Chains A and B, each alone.
Chain A
Amino acid sequence: MEYKQTRMGYVHGLLELARSIPELVVLDADVAKATKTAEFEAVYPERFFNCGVQEQNMLSVAAGLALEGFLPFASTFGVFATCRAGDQMRNSVAYPKLNVKIGATHCGISTGGDGASHQSIEDIAIARSFPNMTVLVPGDYEEAKQCTIAAAKFKGPVYLRFGRDAYPVVEELHGKFEIGKAKFLKGGNELTIITTGIMACEGLIAAETLAKEGCDARVIHMPTVKPIDRQAIVSAACETRRIITVEEHSIIGGLGEAVAGVTAEVCPCYVLRVGVKDVFGESGESNELLNKYGLRAANIVNAARQLLRMSI
Chain B
Amino acid sequence: MTKELDLSALKAKSRKIRKEIVSMVYHANSGHLGGSLGATDIVVALYYHIMNHDADNPQWAQRDRFILSKGHCTPVIYAVLADCSYFPTEDLKTFRRPGSHLQGHPFQPKTPGIEASTGTLGLGISTGVGMALAAKVRKENHYYYILCGDGEIQEGQVWEAAMFANKYKLDNVIAFVDRNYLQTDGNSEVVMPLNPLKPKWESFGWHVLEIDGNDFTQVISAVEEAKKMKGKPSMIIARTVKGKGVSFMENEASWHGTPPKKEEYERAIKELNDGV
Q: What residues of chain A have their CB less than 8 Å away from a CB belonging to chain B? A: 46, 49, 51-52, 54, 56-57, 60-65, 67-70, 87-88, 91-92, 95-97
Contacts and interface: CB of A to CB of B under 8 A. Distances in A.
Contacts of A65: 130-131, 133-134
Interface string B185-223: 000000000000000000000000000000000000000
A70 B109 CA distance: 17
Given A68-B135, A97-B109, A61 B126 contact: yes
Interface string B147-160: 00000000011001
B175 interface: no
B245 interface: no
Contact of A57 (B107, B126, B132): B126
Interface of B: 107-109, 115-120, 122-123, 126-135, 137-138, 156-157, 160-161, 163-164, 167-168
B108 A92 contact: no
B106 to A, nearest CB: 10
B164 A64 contact: no
A92 B126 contact: yes
Contacts of A87: 120, 123
A54 B131 contact: no
Nearest to A67: B131
A54 B134 CA distance: 18
Nearest to A60: B126
Given A60-B157, A67-B130, 6 more contacts: A49-B133, A54-B164, A61-B129, A69-B134, A87-B120, A91-B119
B118 to A, nearest CB: 8
Contacts of B132: 64
B107 A96 contact: yes
Contacts of A67: 108, 115-116, 127, 130-131, 134
A208 to B, nearest CB: 49
B107 A64 contact: no
B193 to A, nearest CB: 23
B65 to A, nearest CB: 9
B133 A64 contact: yes
24 contacts: A46-B137, A52-B160, A52-B163, A52-B164, A52-B167, A54-B163, A56-B122, A56-B156, A56-B157, A57-B157, A60-B123, A60-B126, A60-B127, A60-B161, A61-B133, A63-B130, A64-B116, A65-B131, A65-B133, A65-B134, A67-B134, A68-B130, A92-B126, A95-B117
A64 B129 contact: yes
B109 A88 contact: no
